[in-house]
Amino acid sequence: MAGEHILVVDDDADVREALRLMLEPKGYKVTLCATGPEGRELARTRVPDLILLDIMLATVSEGLHVAYELQKDESLAHVPIIMISSIGETLGLDYASEVGTDYLPATCFLPKPLTAAMVLEAVEQALTEARTEKSGA
């Protein structure tokens, strides 16, 4: 749905740019940031409708820690998080299977490299679910 605010947290400038190019034409409002602390700050102040969060930021698992903190914050716990990374394949970790658990508190996990179709589908699904939860619960 158009107009929703998406926050992108990724240390890779090209990923940020690519996500912007994928999402803005579809009518989403996109905020980009490169670091964990910035991401947390922006999430708190702007309260986005969805967060696209990279797992490996300045350190190997910083993204996960950011997610944990967002979960703990009551005002932000409802915001769906989609986690992205290419680290899963390299280290042999199966992030996809951990989705939704305490270890990976996200609604969805996207492995890099991202394609427009993959991202848009995941974003739309997450936003729809969040909307139904909000109206239903």
Q: Contact between 113 and other proteins (CB under 8 A)?
A: yes
Q: Which residues, 33 to 52, sit near other proteins by CB under 8 A?
A: 33-38
Of the pair 2, 117, the CB lying nearest other proteins is at 117
Sequential DSSP letters for 111-129: ESSP-HHHHHHHHHHHHHH
- Which residue in 76, 99, 116, 130 binds other proteins (CB under 8 A)? 116
Structure token digits, residue 124:
């739309």
Alpha carbons 31 and 96: distance in angstroms, whole number: 25
Q: Contact between 94 and other proteins (CB under 8 A)?
A: no
Residue 134 and residue 120 in contact, taking contact as beta carbons nearer than 8 Å: no
Residue 14, exposed/middle/buried by CB under 10 A (0-12, 13-18, 19+)? Answer: exposed
Give the x-and-dash track for 2-21 against other proteins (CB under 8 A).
---------xxxxx-xx--x
Q: Contact between 112 and other proteins (CB under 8 A)?
A: yes
Residues in the site for other proteins, rule: CB under 8 A? 11-15, 17-18, 21-22, 25, 33-38, 56-60, 86-87, 90-91, 112-117
